Amino acid sequence: MSDALFPVPAEWAEHALIDSATYLEKYQRSIDDAAGFWRDEAQRIDWIEPFHTVKDTSFDEADFHIRWFEGGKLNITANALDRHLETRGDQVAIIWEPDNPSETVRKITYRELHRDVCRFANVLKSRGVKKGDRVTIYLPMVPEAAISMLACARIGAVHSVVFAGFSPDALAGRIEDCQSNIVITADEGLRGGKPIPLKANVDAACDKVAVETVIMLRRTGADVQIVSGRDVDWTEVMDGASSDCPAELMDAEDPLFILYTSGSTGKPKGVLHTTGGYAVWTSMTHQYVFDYKPNADGKMPVYWCAADVGWVTGHSYVVYAPLINGATQVMFEGVPNFPDHSRFWEVIDKHQVEIFYAAPTALRALMREGDEWVTKTSRKSLRLLGSVGEPINPEAWDWYHRVVGDRRCPIVDTWWQTETGGAMITPLPGATALKPGSASKPMFGVKPEIVDNDGNIQAGATDGPLVITDSWPGQMRTVYGDHDRFFQTYFNTFPGMYFTGDGCKRDEDGYYWITGRIDDVINVSGHRMGTAEVESALVAHDSVSEAAVVGMPHDIKGQGIYAYVTTNADVEDTEDLRAELVKWVRKEIGPIATPDAIQFAPGLPKTRSGKIMRRILRKIAENDVSNLGDTSTLADPSVVDDLLANRKK
């Protein structure tokens, strides 16, 4: 923890939507009079029919339910598109910056986006997609990703975006879980100059699960296999489609999307978000956290969230909230270090970005390359910086603040999760004095608490598991197809409360400091990996009999993946096998799951009841071996000696 405190700059206190007094007042009201507060905030959305009940929620097992804005009818795309046409139809909604800066930038106005979304919605309809059907989207960071998502929402279909870095197997598992029979993809993706064979991956996935239609966008023009009767070309089907598509009337609690995320057990869960609460929550948080409003000249500031649409940050803060709020935003196809380490800052200068939101892992990687890549660019347009995805260490915070933001720009360190839909604990730039590394204070309507291991709420400065004790509009509503798993995962550990899976400290000033996951989830470069997922990929290999995976500290990724692998008796533990296992996991899950270290272990530390003692494995991976704690309950304490002797550096 750092002791530094950065007061709210005077011009922010004066001009921001929320100053410190307003924050306190609004926060108090959001807790004391939740219904009144949210009735007012919900007016930011155009409701086709008004809701009759603001909030009807209970986290108790006997009466477990979460419903917001019941009776309300809306369409989120009418809010993101149609309502802007009259006032800002010709305003640029999306500035698309391609992977390679020498390729042409695309600028898409609200009118054009509306037209393309309507067209693509008609394409989906003509393929038999109806309200409630699931549509899988496996696309790179191109405007068509947003168009596809919005087209689904237009007609009430439920999108499931699968990150384009996931393997064919991971894709097939997600298609199967939500039983979608249509996939939208591209011939190839492009990242850092390297092509990613998306269509070939879809073909491989389709060998495992039956899919009726594949719509393919041509991004690179690569030679790909076309399966006749199943595959159709994006441009061809769009050409004939009408741009008139009325927005489907959706209930506030109708599903909007499914997004798969890793948990501590089992396969990834389909996190389901619904329409009304998500629309209110994401647009409100986006407006207040980024102080998003017209500049003095009436123009909307250029906003850039560098997250991929394959993650929740891309859903909430690239696609839905900015468009609902009428933003002009940059959508970036590439990576921070291509063609060189100045790319982020050059894009900021090129498009005069005022608000920039990125992940600490990217900042740490760039920080390592030296300041000059940053300082040779202007960055004068920047006013506000944001961070999301993992704890930002004070060194990276300081670099972001001092070098990137020239000490001028506040940093909003936003803590939230796929499950929470939008920012939960975060500074507001005009209201919150900043402490580097702290996500600071709760957003309106959020009641965080820190509990002890028995679930007793702790007062004052303390640390422990972080829970949220009451519902907020953007909360996930279920695990797709497994409502019981939803309850068991989040509401069973500490009855009556939502358990975040994160550990947290609260200091004397009431600031929250997220310390990281305390369940079996590893946060690799801001991406969640379940240890169970990597383990099951490893044991699926013929040579492996058992595997245990834990996190290890990693300078750039935050956490790396450390795998202990027990091979079959007749297998030799060679370097070749190690390399093969790394490749295997990449193939099974995708490059984000690449193990950073594999240690061959003839035995794993197990209790007499057969439970692997991960605490010991974590300590060895962290090289914190001076105190391994009590090992006396191990069935065979001698395995620990072998583990210590063969630790991977």
What are the φ/ψ torsions at residue 620 (nearest 5 degrees)?
Answer: -65, -45
For 448, the token pair is 């965080």
Q: How far is CA 177 from the centre of its chain?
A: 20
Residue type, position 48, single letter: I
Kindly state the smallest distance separating residue 528's Cβ from ligand 6R9, in Å: 5
Cα separation, 565 vs 635, whole angstroms: 18
Stretch that binds ligand 6R9, among 127-135, 163-171, 307-315, 634-642 (CB under 6 A): 307-315
By C-beta, is 276 or 558 nearer to ligand 6R9? 558
Among positive and negative, which fits the CA dihedral 138, 140, 144, 146? Answer: positive
Q: Is 418 in the site for ligand 6R9 (CB under 6 A)?
A: yes
Contact between residue 12 and residue 430 where contact means Cβ atoms under 8 Å apart: yes
Contact between residue 167 and residue 590 where contact means Cβ atoms under 8 Å apart: yes
User: Does residue 413 have a known ligand-binding role?
Assistant: yes
Cα separation, 148 vs 144, whole angstroms: 6
Q: Is 531 in the site for ligand 6R9 (CB under 6 A)?
A: no
What are the φ/ψ torsions at residue 259 (nearest 5 degrees)?
Answer: -135, 125
Site string for ligand 6R9, 108-127 (x = CB under 6 A): --------------------
User: Does residue 421 have a known ligand-binding role?
Assistant: no
By C-beta, is 312 or 561 nearer to ligand 6R9? 312
Stretch that binds ligand 6R9, among 218-226, 330-338, 365-373, 414-422 (CB under 6 A): 414-422
Q: Is 312 in the site for ligand 6R9 (CB under 6 A)?
A: yes
Q: Which of 502, 520, 533, 588 lies at the binding interface for ligand 6R9 (CB under 6 A)?
A: 502
Strand partners, 159: 135, 257
Radius of gyration of the chain (CA): 24
For 189, the token pair is 């993706």
Q: Is 435 in the site for ligand 6R9 (CB under 6 A)?
A: no
Binding to ligand 6R9 (CB under 6 A): which residues in 374-393?
A: 387-391
By C-beta, is 195 or 516 nearer to ligand 6R9? 516
User: How many residues make contact with ligand 6R9 (CB under 6 A)?
Assistant: 25
Q: Is 448 in the site for ligand 6R9 (CB under 6 A)?
A: no
- Packed helices 20-32 and 34-41: angle between N→C axes, nearest 10 degrees: 120
For 440, the token pair is 């600071």
Cα separation, 105 vs 103, whole angstroms: 7
Q: For the residues of 2-55, what is the DSSP string, one character each? A: ----BPPPHHHHHHSS--HHHHHHHHHHHHHTHHHHHHHHGGGS--SB--SEEE
Q: Is 264 in the site for ligand 6R9 (CB under 6 A)?
A: no
Cα separation, 566 vs 573, whole angstroms: 9
Q: How far is CA 100 from the centre of its chain?
A: 25
Contact between residue 120 and residue 127 where contact means Cβ atoms under 8 Å apart: no
Q: Which of 75, 77, 79, 261 lies at the binding interface for ligand 6R9 (CB under 6 A)?
A: 261
Pairing type for strands 355-358 and 521-524 reads: unpaired
By C-beta, is 326 or 501 nearer to ligand 6R9? 501
Kindly state the smallest distance separating residue 492's Cβ from ligand 6R9, in Å: 17
By C-beta, is 521 or 604 nearer to ligand 6R9? 521
Burial 227-261 (b: 16+ CB within 10 A, else e): eeeebbebeebbeebeeebebbebbbbbbbbbbbb
By C-beta, is 277 or 526 nearer to ligand 6R9? 526
Among positive and negative, which fits the CA dihedral 196, 198, 203, 207? Answer: positive
Kindly state the smallest distance separating residue 86's Cβ from ligand 6R9, in Å: 33
Kindly state the smallest distance separating residue 71's Cβ from ligand 6R9, in Å: 30
Q: Is 514 in the site for ligand 6R9 (CB under 6 A)?
A: yes
By C-beta, is 180 or 438 nearer to ligand 6R9? 438
Stretch that binds ligand 6R9, among 151-159, 416-424, 475-483, 596-604 (CB under 6 A): 416-424
Kindly state the smallest distance separating residue 545's Cβ from ligand 6R9, in Å: 31
**Coarse DSSP helix, strand, coil percentages of the chain, rounded to the nearest 5 percent:** 35, 25, 40
Q: Is 234 in the site for ligand 6R9 (CB under 6 A)?
A: no
CB-based closest residue to ligand 6R9: 418
Q: Which of 116, 413, 533, 588 lies at the binding interface for ligand 6R9 (CB under 6 A)?
A: 413
Residue type, position 498, single letter: Y
Q: Is 270 in the site for ligand 6R9 (CB under 6 A)?
A: no
Q: Is 523 in the site for ligand 6R9 (CB under 6 A)?
A: yes
Cα separation, 27 vs 404, whole angstroms: 31
By C-beta, is 136 or 440 nearer to ligand 6R9? 440
User: Does residue 544 have a known ligand-binding role?
Assistant: yes
Q: Is 313 in the site for ligand 6R9 (CB under 6 A)?
A: yes
Q: Is 290 in the site for ligand 6R9 (CB under 6 A)?
A: no
Kindly state the smallest distance separating residue 386's Cβ from ligand 6R9, in Å: 9
User: Does residue 337 have a known ligand-binding role?
Assistant: yes
User: Does residue 227 have a known ligand-binding role?
Assistant: no
Q: Which of 55, 351, 383, 528 lies at the binding interface for ligand 6R9 (CB under 6 A)?
A: 528
Task: Quickly list H helices, 333-445.
Answer: 343-351, 360-367, 372-375, 394-399
Q: Is 592 in the site for ligand 6R9 (CB under 6 A)?
A: no
Give contact residues for ligand 6R9 (rule: CB under 6 A): 261, 311-313, 387-391, 413-418, 439, 500-502, 514, 516-517, 523, 526, 528
Annotated binding site for ATP: 389-391, 413-418, 502, 517, 528
Annotated binding site: 191-194, 313, 337, 389-391, 413-418, 502, 517, 525, 528, 539, 541, 544, 586
